[in-house]
Amino acid sequence: MYPRTLPSTMRTPKAIPVFPYNHPPRPRVRLVRPLSVAPQVDRSNGTFNAIGVPHLNIGIQGIRVRRAVGVAVTTGAVLASGALHAAPAQAAAAPTIAAKGGFVMNNANGKSLYTKAADTRRSTGSTTKIMTAKVVLAQKNLNLNSKVTIQMAYSDYIVANNASSARLIVGDKVTVRQLLYGLMLPSGCDAAYALADKFGTGSTRAARVKSFIGKMNADAKELGLKNTNFDSFDGIGKGKNYSTPRDLTKIASSAMKSSTFRAIVKTKKYTAKTVTKTGSTRTMAPWTNTNGLLSGYSGTTGVKTGSGPEAKYCLVFAATRNGRTVIGTVLASTGSTQRETDAKKIMDYGFGRI
């Protein structure tokens, strides 16, 4: 049966009857004209549907139904006219991450998509090596196949600092391309030292290294970065090696413009073949990329992990989905797995805001 009155939510207070009746008809009137179609609320989705209304046999009840139908029609008209609007859906809340700092931007236009202490200076660990590689790849007339002889000083440096290593063999000749893979995949500080020694200028190794670090800082200045400074070629700093999530992201975004850099940082595993002192070929043990996102997050294209007593656990990352690329950084997370979890959260959030 059609309801005698609408639910309280549909009533209008003391509404003037829709139909031209000031008084109900006399009781002797037994029948009213049937209503063939009347709107009724569909509670499943809040819209109005036209449904058949049964014949009404009692006069007073019929009038009440007609009045109710009129109210329903009026209410439906208000909704159809757009006078009432549904509240817009709330935007997803920014995720919580364990890292002390984080930043994500749209790589296409630099628009910020997520920030957490994005401009606070922190130690960067081996994410510093992004700038190391960037400086090398910016050299004029660069020959990636030119060879560098591995020196004992590079090996001694690794031992003295308990640093991550590409396990380069003293006396072997290694190409610049191979050194870049050794720098970015296993995070070899020996490879970083070799590159700084190769591409710095000066008559001594110390002078060449200092010159190379100067090039790193000059590049940062050219990018307009005011919260970044390097005092090392690999992130093993002396108190003045720092950056921010925002600055590191901008460095990575600039570095990713190089096709060679992009090819290196998205590589999961690489095997170098070097030339020994005797001229024979040495097949090195494969270098595995320390960036677990390459296997653990769809669309990941790079770029570099970092860690250290002061830096904690860091990660600079980038991913492309459906032609859109986000790029970002987390600094000072609580573990190697957690930094990846942090990165995944804020990349998901970033993709949702592009």
State yes or no: is 238 an active-site residue.
no
- Give the list of residues 6+ apart from residue 218 with CB closer than 8 angstroms, or none: none
- Tell me the CA distances in angstroms from 135 to 91, 212, 233, 258, one per residue in order: 40, 8, 10, 11
- Distance, in Å, from the CA atom of 184 to the CA atom of 302, rounded to the nearest integer, reads 10
Among 273, 270, 310, smallest CA distance to 294 is for 270
Catalytic-labelled residue, pool 126, 164, 243, 253: 126
State yes or no: is 187 an active-site residue.
yes
Q: Which residues pair with 42 in a beta bridge?
A: 47
Catalytic-labelled residue, pool 123, 164, 165, 187: 187
CB 55 within 8 A of CB 35: no
State yes or no: is 307 an active-site residue.
no
CB 297 within 8 A of CB 347: yes
- Using the CB atoms, write b or e for 230-253: b if 16+ within 10 Å: bbbbbbbbeeebbbbbbbbbbbbb
CB 128 within 8 A of CB 229: no
- Distance, in Å, from the CA atom of 143 to the CA atom of 192, rounded to the nearest integer, reads 17
- Distance, in Å, from the CA atom of 307 to the CA atom of 301, rounded to the nearest integer, reads 20
Q: Which residues pair with 102 in a beta bridge?
A: 116, 330
CB 318 within 8 A of CB 256: yes
Among 290, 309, 302, 305, smallest CA distance to 327 is for 302
Catalytic-labelled residue, pool 116, 123, 129, 307: 129
Q: Which residues are catalytic?
A: 126, 129, 187
